């Protein structure tokens, strides 16, 4: 049996008239909720959404609901007033959480006019999708085949209360903060981000294409097969796999436990003078079969560190093997690492500043290093 369909136009939403559709869209979602789920359909056209009071999110998706459209022609768009205010979250879960939700084949437009991040001025809490609940569970949510753009905060965010979350084949553009933001707490687990990309835009992002922070016990994150022109920053996770991504910018993260980083292609931007890859306070790090390219003459390859005055523990149990590192700065630098193995990396060009540097590190086994 096909799920019942709730077309927002049947509840009073009118496309392309520049008039607000928020209340009509909510009526469609309420009808879907009263039926214990179904499909809320967004036809082709631009529908305007705005915050009515202090609610967050603006549109609450009930359990057992698919939000679908006709692709990028089905647009939910913030009223331009969004640029004068903050904490507009377009789609999310209500106070009792939600389960079994799909968002697919729609276009979310945040109407942002800020071209770059201006701390204190940019309304950085205006999000497209915002799943967060400290008291209830948000579970089994998939967002796929969507375009999410023009948000002054994050395009898609998931955090406390979330489990079994999937974001796949989503395109992002013109986000001032993060493209996809993941966080959580000890009750949060199992996130997958795959097949996503950020498209070239006009806004200068102050964040990353894919970002994990404020994770505080988040377990099981897989970031695979994405194309990122704004870096991947991912820290604070127990059990994280970052594999087969194409990254322009950097790959970095602090405080991961049990991280597997394999098969990535990471190219530092022309102006990136630092290490292209950096991990701090890692306990259990496999970094294998990656290609790192540093374009700037001062750029280094991979930096693994720990034992600072702020946080005494070193990085531990670090394996760096079988990578191809093309930089003119230091190839591999360990600074505050206890127990590790570095083997079979090719670090070029010959005459790079230094291939492998060890500082404040112990119990490191070095195998053959090709010239």
Comparing CB distances to Ca ion, the nearer of 21 and 238 is: 21
* Shortest distance (Å) from residue 193 CB to Ca ion: 32
Q: Which whole-number Å values give the CA distances from 55 to 14, 52, 87, 327, in the listed order?
A: 23, 7, 9, 49
Spatial contact of 260 and 241, defined as CB atoms under 8 Å apart: yes
Q: Residue 283: CB partners within 8 Å, gap ≥ 6?
A: 256, 257, 258, 313, 315, 316, 317
* Residue 14 makes contact with Ca ion by CB under 5 A: yes
Q: Which is nearer to Ca ion, 107 or 219 (CB)?
A: 107
Give the residue with the Cβ less far from Ca ion, 21 or 39: 21
Q: Measured from the CB atom, is 18 or 298 closer to Ca ion?
A: 18
21 touches Ca ion by CB under 5 A: yes
- The number of residues making up the chain comes to 371
* Smallest separation (angstroms) from Ca ion to the CB of 23: 11
Q: What is the 3-state secondary structure (H, E, C) of the chain?
A: CCCCEEEHHHHCCCCCCCCECHHHHHHHHHHHHHCCCEEEEECCEEEEECCCCCCCCCEECCCCEEEEECCCCEEEEECHHHHHCCCCEEEECCCCCEEEEEEECCEEECCCCCCCCCCCCCCCCCEEEEECCCCCCEEEEEEECCEEEEECCCCEEECCCEEEEEEECCEEEEECCCCEEECCCCCCEEEEEECCEECCCCCCCCCCCEEECCCCCCEEEEEECCEECCCEEECCCEEEEEECCEEECCEEEECCEEEEEECCEEECCCCCCCEEEEEECCEEEEEECCEEECCCCCCEEEEEECCCCCCCCCEEEEEEECCEEECCCCCEEEECEEEEEEECCEEECCCCCCCEEEECCEEEEECCCEC
CB of 14 to Ca ion, least distance (A): 4
Question: What is the rounded CA–CA span in Å between residue 42 and residue 152?
Answer: 23
Tell me the window of 19-27, 69-77, 186-194, 277-285 that interacts with Ca ion (CB under 5 A). Answer: 19-27
| Smallest distance from Ca ion to CB 13, Å | 6
Residue 111 beta carbon to Ca ion: minimum distance, rounded to whole angstroms? 14
User: 22 vs 345, which CB is nearer to Ca ion?
Assistant: 22
CA 266/CA 269 separation, integer angstroms: 10
- From 17-25, 72-80, 301-309, 361-369, give the range in contact with Ca ion by CB under 5 A: 17-25
- C-alpha closest to that of 337 among 262, 287, 265: 287
19 binds Ca ion per the rule CB under 5 A: yes
x/- site string to Ca ion, residues 264 to 303, per CB under 5 A?
----------------------------------------
Q: Do 221 and 237 meet the contact criterion of CB atoms below 8 Å apart?
A: yes
Contact region for Ca ion (CB under 5 A) — 18-26, 160-168, 191-199, 235-243? 18-26
Stretch binding Ca ion (CB under 5 A), from 6-14, 31-39, 146-154, 303-311: 6-14
17 binds Ca ion (CB under 5 A): yes
Q: With binding defined as CB under 5 A, does residue 109 bind Ca ion? A: no
Q: Does 80 bind Ca ion (CB under 5 A)?
A: no
Least distance between Ca ion and beta carbon 194 (Å): 34
Count of residues engaged in binding Ca ion, rule: CB under 5 A: 4
Q: Which is nearer to Ca ion, 29 or 287 (CB)?
A: 29
Closest CA to 60 of 49, 71, 72, 48: 49
Please report how close the Cβ of residue 90 comes to Ca ion at its closest, in angstroms: 15
Which span sits near Ca ion by CB under 5 A: 20-28, 37-45, 239-247, 281-289? 20-28
Pick the closer one to Ca ion by CB: 4 or 19.
Answer: 19
Query: Minimum CB separation from Ca ion for residue 107, in Å?
Result: 15
Q: How far is the CB of 29 from Ca ion (least distance, A)?
A: 16
Q: Which of 13-21, 35-43, 178-186, 347-355 is the region at the interface with Ca ion (rule: CB under 5 A)?
A: 13-21
Place of tokens 């523990």: 313
Nearer to Ca ion, 19 or 23 (CB): 19
User: Does 23 help bind Ca ion (rule: CB under 5 A)?
Assistant: no
Minimum CB separation of residue 185 from Ca ion in Å reads: 38
Q: Applying CB under 5 A, which residues contact Ca ion?
A: 14, 17, 19, 21
């Amino acid at each position: 049996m096909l799920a019942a369909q709730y077309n927002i136009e049947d509840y009073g939403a009118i496309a392309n008239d520049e008039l607000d559709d928020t209340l009509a869209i909510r009526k469609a979602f309420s009808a879907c909720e009263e039926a214990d789920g179904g499909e809320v359909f967004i036809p082709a056209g631009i529908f305007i959404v705005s915050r009515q009071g202090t609610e967050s999110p603006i549109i609450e998706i009930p359990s057992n609901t698919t939000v679908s459209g006709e692709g990028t022609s089905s647009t939910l768009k913030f009223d331009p007033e969004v640029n004068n205010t903050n904490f507009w979250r377009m789609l999310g879960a209500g106070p009792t959480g939600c389960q079994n939700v799909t968002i697919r084949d729609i276009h979310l437009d945040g109407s942002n006019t800020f071209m770059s991040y201006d701390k204190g001025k940019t309304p950085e809490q205006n999000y497209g999708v915002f799943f967060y609940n400290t008291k209830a569970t948000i579970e089994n949510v998939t967002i796929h085949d969507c375009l999410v753009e023009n948000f002054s905060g994050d395009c898609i965010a998931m955090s406390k209360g979330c489990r079994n979350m999937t974001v796949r084949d989503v395109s992002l553009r013109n986000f001032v903060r993060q493209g996809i933001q993941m966080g959580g707490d000890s009750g949060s687990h199992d996130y997958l981000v795959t097949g996503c990309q950020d498209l070239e835009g006009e806004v200068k992002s102050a964040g990353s294409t894919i970002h994990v922070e404020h994770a505080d016990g988040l377990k099981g994150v897989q970031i695979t097969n994405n194309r990122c022109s704004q870096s991947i920053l991912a820290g604070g996770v127990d059990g994280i796999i970052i594999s087969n991504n194409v990254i322009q910018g950097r790959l970095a993260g602090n405080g991961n436990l049990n991280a597997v980083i394999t098969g990535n292609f990471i190219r530092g931007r022309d102006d990136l003078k630092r290490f292209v890859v950096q991990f701090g306070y890692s306990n259990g790090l496999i970094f294998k079969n990656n290609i790192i390219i540093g374009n700037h003459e001062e750029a280094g390859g991979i930096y693994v560190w720990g034992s600072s005055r702020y946080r005494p523990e070193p990085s531990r149990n670090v394996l760096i093997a079988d990578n191809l590192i093309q930089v003119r700065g230091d190839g591999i630098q360990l600074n505050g690492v206890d127990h590790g193995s570095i083997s079979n990396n090719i670090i070029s060009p010959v005459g790079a500043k230094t291939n492998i540097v060890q500082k404040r590190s112990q119990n490191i086994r070095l195998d053959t290093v090709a010239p």
